[in-house]
Amino acid sequence: MRKLFIGTIVVSLLGALVIGAALAWTGSAKAPVSATAGTVGVAFYNWVPTGNLVIPNDTYIKVADSGFTNTGNITVHATGGLVDNIWGAGDCDNDISGSVNVSDGSAVAPGYSIADAYDIFLYMGSGAEDSCQGVTINYDVTIDVGT
């Protein structure tokens, strides 16, 4: 009797597993959706020339301070920059270089500005020719930000 009872239980359990597995259906749904990525954007803000003259002394001379306005929609901070494309200085173009240093790397939220985030420097080598005196030095400045 015990064997019959145990056998009946085993057969019933196996049957329940087979039938249960067959009746355990699943489902899913898929839909095309989208999201928009944020943007990083900046504009110069509070460009202030120092009035310092660039002289041939093998030293970087601070010629301006600048900040930026965050025109994008992601918080950013100043990371660096570049002075290049120096022109208009006659024979002096090759004797002049520049650099941008970060003076304040604070985070700037979208729509806000920071007044003094960069220092801009120009360098004139001590071998610059006499014809460099009094020339106007034009240059491009690039400011970099990161998230």
8 Å CB contact between 129 and 93: no
pLDDT in tens, 2-24: 555 565 665 565 655 555 556 78
Cβ–Cβ under 8 Å, residues 106 and 80: no
pTM of the model: 0.77
Question: Domain total for the chain?
Answer: 1
Within a domain: 122? yes
Q: If you average pLDDT over every residue of the chain, what do you get?
A: 89
Q: Could you tell me the residue range of the domain that residue 111 belongs to?
A: 42-146
| Residue 105 domain-assigned (yes or no) | yes
Q: Is 119 helix (H, G, I), strand (E, B) or coil?
A: strand
Three-state secondary structure of 126-138: CCCCHHHCCCCCE
117-137: average pLDDT:
93
